[in-house]
């Protein structure tokens, strides 16, 4: 079943006076080709898709479960499908999109392998970002007897939505096992990009990977 006609949009504007996208979202935007088809999973208020529609003329759709976030995204001119990501992406056809994005949501997914496989099924490229549990101050927190709490992971252990924390090497190992070819990596601490010792010095990792089926589709 093709749903492209029901989810493709053009145009889209940023809300007047709002802050520009975060540095990690700007990097994601650089990895997306102008005019391509984009699916944003857990799109929240639609800020990334609205920016992509405005600056790169993408044809995009978002998936979001929260009522208030869906309303905010629609107000930005973003087409949104209200759905729980844990239910999978059966709504979408194989290779329906060029790029699928999962920004700072992977760590809260219960079925991590399944969502990554589904991303590789519906798009040629996948982009994921997540907090880096290998960030060196986390080790000091654990040695002091406490789970880490910081700007990137601001929750206490008892109320955190983050159930699958990992390091950069952990993700790379999983990607290799799933046959996902990593093409790009960016790492950040706040608004600064980290270019060396990223596994220790970064708080947020952003990966771009190519679907194992991409060669067969070419």
pLDDT of residue 196: 94
Give buried/exposed letters for 148-164 (b at 16+ CB in 10 A, else e): beeebbeeeeeeeebee
pTM of the model: 0.85
pLDDT at 8 over 70: no
Q: What is the pLDDT of residue 134?
A: 87
Whole-Å CA distances, 216 to 95, 97, 124, 131, 213: 11, 15, 11, 33, 5
24 closest CA partner among 156, 160, 189, 172:
189
Q: What average pLDDT score do residues 112-140 get?
A: 91
Edge-to-edge strand order for the sheet containing 80-82?
A: 80-82, 59-64, 37-41, 97-103, 123-131, 204-210, 181-189, 192-194
Name the average pLDDT for the chain.
85
d(CA 205, CA 131): 6
A 10 A CB-CB count for 198 gives 19
| The pLDDT of residue 214 | 76
What is the mean pLDDT of the segment spanning 183-195?
Answer: 95
Q: What percent of the chain has pLDDT above 90? A: 64
With b for 16 or more beta-carbon neighbours within 10 A and e for fewer, the 108-139 pattern comes to bbeebeebbbbbbbbbbbbbbbbbbbbbeebe
pLDDT of residue 20: 65
Give CATH superfamily name and number for 4-217: Vaccinia Virus protein VP39 (3.40.50.150)
How does residue 3 score in pLDDT terms, banded at 50, 70 and 90?
A: very low
Q: Which region among 88-102, 124-138, 192-206 has the lowest average model confidence (pLDDT)?
A: 124-138
Q: pLDDT tens-digit profile of 52-74?
A: 999 999 999 999 999 999 999 99
- Give the pLDDT confidence of 89-102 residue by residue, as tens digits: 999 999 999 999 99
Q: Which of 53-62, 147-156, 158-167 has the lowest average pLDDT?
A: 147-156
């Amino acid at each position: 079943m093709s749903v492209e006609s029901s989810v493709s949009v053009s145009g889209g504007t940023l809300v007047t006076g709002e802050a520009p996208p975060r540095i990690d979202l700007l990097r994601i935007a650089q990895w997306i080709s102008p005019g391509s088809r984009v699916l944003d999973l857990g799109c929240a208020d639609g800020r990334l898709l609205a920016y992509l529609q405005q600056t790169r003329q993408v044809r995009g759709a978002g998936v979001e479960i929260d009522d208030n976030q869906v309303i905010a995204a629609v107000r930005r001119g973003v087409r949104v499908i209200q759905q729980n990501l844990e239910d999978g992406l059966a709504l979408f056809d194989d290779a329906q999109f060029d790029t699928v994005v999962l920004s700072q949501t992977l760590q809260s997914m219960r079925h991590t392998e399944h969502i990554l496989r589904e991303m590789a099924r519906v798009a040629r490229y996948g982009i994921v970002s997540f907090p880096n549990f290998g960030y060196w101050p986390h080790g000091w927190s654990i040695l002091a007897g406490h789970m880490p709490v910081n700007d990137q992971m601001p929750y206490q252990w008892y109320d955190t939505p983050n159930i699958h924390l990992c390091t950069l090497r952990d993700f790379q190992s999983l990607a290799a096992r799933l046959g996902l070819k990593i093409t790009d990596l960016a790492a950040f601490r706040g608004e600064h990009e980290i270019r060396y010792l990223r596994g220790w010095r970064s708080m947020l990792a952003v990966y771009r990977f190519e679907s194992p089926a991409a060669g067969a589709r070419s």
